Amino acid sequence: MIFENVFNKVYDREVLAKVKFLSTVSLFKGISKKDLLYLLENIYENKYRKGDIVFEEGEVGRALFIVYSGTIGLYKKNDKNNIIYKVKPGEFVGEMAIFEEMPRTLSAVAIEDTSVFMFYKTDLESIITSKPKIAAYLNYNLAKILSQRLRGYIKGEKEIVE
Amino acid sequence: MAIFLSAAFSYILSPIVKFFEVRGIKRSYTVVIMYLAGSIFFIFFVFFIIKIASFDIESFINNWPSYYSNFEEIIKSFISKIEKVFPIISQFNIADKILSFLIELPIYLINYIPYGIFIFIIPFISFFMLMSGAKMFDNVITKVNPRYIEIIFYMVSRIDKTLGRYLRAILSEATVIFIIAFFGLLIMNIKYFSILAFLAGISPIVPYLGAIVAGLVSAIFAYVQYGDIYVVLKVVVFFIAIRFFDDWFLQPYIMKKNVDMNPALVVLALMAGGEIAGFWGVIFAVPVLCIIREIVFILIELQTENFFDKSYKVYVPYT
């Protein structure tokens, strides 16, 4: 009983929830809990209020955004009212920025109060040298995700906007 | 200055706090436990070394007049020999300048003793900085247009990586070199070994110059104590060995301190730091150079992006 009380005082249960959340993200599939903790050390957390612009089309992307809570809406520049896709908790946006810092292809807005994890290309680069095992999983998962998207593109499942 | 040093100290300690924080231990408990552990370490180890060092400083200051006359003799004969070969040097009065500095050396040392209070003040301020943690940064971030948060975190991430790597490496390097020099000079039975080891320990903070000064001062002390060139050679070889150990083993394999800094730029930064803020300017010259260098690189990067080819295809993300 005393031990449980002390444990509850010292231990931050929110961290456990974050690690559990990260383990459900497809990008981190297969990564052990210990390595997820290392990742948690190396990613940035940020909160956006409803209506905040997360990034704009044409800006050079540097980070991948994983939605922890809330929703991010994607839209074409100057057409904020026409949301093309809603990024829900557990989903992520901007994975191409992890490989190459190229201009964003869409703009993003926080549809409600949203909490995100930001994972930068520079962090992936340092993980490649310091923790190759995590990097191998990340790159494998990213390759799978990009492959799925390419398949979708070829099949014409998704709309292509020139 | 105390605030600045405290910020640097808490920055060095922050990865330890973050390590435990992401493993579920609340920040306040981590900081308190870390300080308790640090205090125990301080009492049993650092206090012991400071005690020896303070004894050394006391005897060093008391014995200084006799050492001074020895130095005077050595320096005068050495300079007069040089002046015979190069008469032009005589007009600079080098011997007088060196001797006037040497006579004031104990006073310089005493002047720096009040900074010893920093040993208590810095951890005290750092404690509160560590407790508040990222809240201070978060408060600033909330004032920024959310559109720029991605680039701000990017800059912070890059500066943090370069600076953090450098600062933590330099601290570990200083500790390892101090321990080696402390026991090496103790075994060689060189007087004031703790002061000399401390000098060797802080030498990596001032690249190039620090190592030369530490080796040179130790060699002079060895010569004054024993009057034997063989002992001087032993000390010089010992310091060269430390240098090689540092350059070939410590830095590349253990610390990965390589920040690819141009040596000329480092020397220039040291001179500029000394000119702007004296002693502390020299100490902080390289970390500040790291920050400036990273900011310049990011600015160049941003500038280059303006010329980017923006013709690209857009597709709806598949998630």
pLDDT tens digit string along B270-294?
888 888 877 778 878 888 888 888 8
pLDDT at B235 over 60: yes
The answer for A 111-130 residues in CB contact with B (under 8 A) is 118, 120, 122-123, 126
* Mean pLDDT of the region B207-225: 80
> Residue B311 has what pLDDT?
45
Kindly indicate the confidence band of residue B80, based on its pLDDT and cuts at 50, 70 and 90.
Answer: confident
* Mean pLDDT of the region B170-183: 85
CB contact under 8 A, A10 and B319: no
Q: Kindly state the helix (H) or strand (E) to which residue A161 belongs, with its residue range.
A: strand A160-161
Give A105→chain B minimum CA distance, Å.
5
Ramachandran angles phi, psi of A55, nearest 5°: -155, 165
In angstroms, the CA B286 to CA B270 distance is 7
CB contact under 8 A, B317 and A52: no
* Mean pLDDT of the region B11-30: 79
* Mean pLDDT of the region A76-98: 84
Q: Kindly state the helix (H) or strand (E) to which residue A115 belongs, with its residue range.
A: strand A114-120
In angstroms, the CA A142 to CA B199 distance is 50
pLDDT at B263 over 50: yes
> Do the Cβ atoms of A33 and A23 come closer than 8 Å?
yes
Residue type, B214: A
Give the bridge partners for A73, in sequence order. A86, A109
In angstroms, the CA A39 to CA A22 distance is 9
% pLDDT > 90, chain B: 0
Cβ contacts (< 8 Å) between A61 and chain B: which residues? 150
Q: What are the pLDDT digits (tens) for A29-75?
A: 888 888 888 888 888 888 888 888 888 888 888 888 999 999 999 99
Furthest C-alpha separation in chain A: 64
Ramachandran angles phi, psi of A57, nearest 5°: -55, 135
Residue labelled with tokens 């408060």: B139
Instruction: Indicate whether this complex's ipTM tops 0.85.
Output: no
A100 touches chain B (CB under 8 A): no
Cβ contacts (< 8 Å) between B149 and chain A: which residues? 46
Q: Taking the alpha carbons of A41, A43, A44, A47 in that order, is the dihedral positive or negative?
A: negative
In this structure, what DSSP letter does residue B264 have? H
B192 torsion bin: left (phi>0), alpha (psi -120 to 50), beta (else): left
> Which structure tokens are listed for B197?
């080891």
Give B289→chain A minimum CA distance, Å.
20
Q: A16 to chain B: nearest residue by CA? A: B24
In this structure, what DSSP letter does residue B177 have? H
* Mean pLDDT of the region B117-121: 70
> Which structure tokens are listed for A144?
């799978």
> Residue A162 has what pLDDT?
34
Q: A17 to chain B: nearest residue by CA? A: B24
pLDDT at A83 over 70: yes
Cβ contacts (< 8 Å) between A147 and chain B: which residues? none
Q: Taking the alpha carbons of A26, A31, A36, A40 in that order, is the dihedral positive or negative?
A: negative
Ramachandran angles phi, psi of A115, nearest 5°: -115, 130
HEC letters along chain A: CHHHHHHHHHECHHHHHHHHHHHHCHHHCCCCHHHHHHHHHHCEEEEECCCCEEECCCCECCEEEEEEECCEEEECCCCCCCEEEEECCCCEECCHHHHCCCECCCEEEECCCEEEEEEEHHHHHHHHHHCHHHHHHHHHHHHHHHHHHHHHHHHCCCCEEC
Give the bridge partners for A44, in sequence order. A118
Kindly indicate the confidence band of residue B134, based on its pLDDT and cuts at 50, 70 and 90.
Answer: low
> Residue B26 has what pLDDT?
77
In this structure, what DSSP letter does residue B116 have? G
In angstroms, the CA A125 to CA B159 distance is 15
In this structure, what DSSP letter does residue A39 have? H
